[in-house]
Structure 1
Amino acid sequence: MPELTAASLMEHHQAASVLAGLLEGNGRFIAGEPRYKRDITAARQHAPGQKPGAVVFTCIDSRVTAESVFDCDFGQLLVVRTAGHVPDRAAVGSLEFAAAEMGVGLVVVLGHERCGAVAAALNAVQDDTHDPRTDYLVEQLWQPASQALSESTDAEAAASQAMRLQVRRTVADLGRRSSLDGVLVVGAVYDLDTGAVSLVDEP
């Protein structure tokens, strides 16, 4: 993951500007003062085309709705979802498509507290068991879950740590891909209780 320093953000000036706009939108969301209604009138207005400025790669959790969290209108944001934001081939292909075909220069990997996929991985590591219904996800999340459990004795802290480790791992994975050269990839965490999004820096 690139360090979120002034120097690194200057190298991605346009993407950094888009990121600032997303965080401003999150501020409006928290304040209960959204700019966009996203009603049928807006949908019809944007139906002819789209010019998204960013992709949010997040979890499938129904409480994490990126368009609302960042107060974006139709056509402004692409959203890719997998449980635990595991970067499988379809997800990565979607991000590559966004960069190559739509010119999107910013990817936000958005984790969240109380993630069910992370909890399943933590339980599997603790019990050393596998469930055919979640084997793939557990396999993909085993490393951050195992590391978090080794670093924390408190269950809630371990879950939070595992989620952040997965955010950083996902950012690092995407950042190594030549297909995403020139794209700013940043990690962030959504607080389900406050609605706030905070950036995740390098450990």
Structure 2
Amino acid sequence: MPDYYLDKQPGQTEQSWSEAESSLQQLLEGNGRFRQGKPRFRRDIVAAQAAAPEQHPMAAVFTCVDSRVTAESVFDCNFGQLAVVRTAGHVPDRAALGSLDFIVAELKVPLIVVLGHERCGAISAALNAVSEDTHDPRTNYLVEQLWQPASQALEETDPKKAASHAMRLQVLRTITDLKRRPAYADILVVGAGYDLDTGTVTLIDKL
């Protein structure tokens, strides 16, 4: 695990940090099993029934609506282990933030993972709008919300690399926004990117 994630968040207790670190390690190990084609959990009806009485997720995952990005599979987790919030381009709108607030307050997760992915359709739409300069971002909510990382990516990198760069910018922007929320002072918030071709999840802390 990269050293930069071994520093506690400001205000985070030792117990919360220990739980967050353990949860993150379990997710990364689960991704390893997923990549190797050796999942531990079948997620069948027996597992669903076992988890039905109550839930105690070890982490929240805020990710995209893309049908190819299924957090429970990517991290090889069972019913009840993850609380997942999804919006296109993992844009933190009011509903997403309200959902994460509920997960933190009521389900007591120690960890939030913001999971972006390669070839994101929402980010591609924003990049196209910025490139063509013919679209008013105020007429499309997602384009409006993703305009800044799309613009920055096109300014900072080659057009062929802009989509990946914009994804990372959006992940970093999202985790920065979440870390500012007072209710998350005791929560570890990390960013990650998912490679659709290899199934690999890579932690993101910088460009």
Does TM-score exceed 0.5, indicating one fold?
yes
Determine if contact 2:31/2:74 at 8 Å carries over to the other structure: yes
- Which whole-Å CA distance do the structure 2 matches of 1:64 and 1:145 have between them? 21
Secondary structure at the aligned position of 2:114 is classed as strand
Letter in 2 for 1:165: L
Tell me if 1:86 matches 2:91.
yes
Q: Deviations over 1:47-73 (max 9, x none)?
A: 111110100000000000000000000
Tell me if 1:45 matches 2:50.
yes
Matches within 5 A, 1:3-152: 4-8=4-8, 12-130=17-135, 135-152=140-157
TM-score, length-scaled by structure 1: 0.93
Shift of 1:32: 0.5
- Which whole-Å CA distance do the structure 2 matches of 1:131 and 1:42 have between them? 48
Tell me if 1:171 matches 2:207.
no
Letter in 2 for 1:74: F
Secondary structure at the aligned position of 1:146 is classed as helix
Determine if contact 2:137/2:144 at 8 Å carries over to the other structure: no
Q: Deviations over 1:157-178 (max 9, x none)?
A: 0000000000000000000011
Determine if contact 2:114/2:171 at 8 Å carries over to the other structure: yes
Shift of 1:95: 0.6
Shift of 1:142: 0.4
Shift of 1:41: 1.1
- CA spacing shift, 1:57–1:5, aligned 2, 3 Å: closer
Letter in 2 for 1:8: K
Q: Percent sequence identity over matched residues? A: 67
TM-score, length-scaled by structure 2: 0.92
Report the counterpart of residue 183 of structure 1 in structure 2: 187
What count of residue pairs does the alignment treat as equivalent?
Answer: 200
- Which whole-Å CA distance do the structure 2 matches of 1:192 and 1:64 have between them? 8
Tell me if 1:162 matches 2:162.
no
Letter in 2 for 1:174: L
Determine if contact 2:62/2:113 at 8 Å carries over to the other structure: yes
Determine if contact 2:190/2:204 at 8 Å carries over to the other structure: yes
- Segments of 5+ residues of structure 1 without an aligned counterpart are none
Poorly superposed stretches of 4+, deviation over 4 Å: 131-134
Shift of 1:153: 2.4
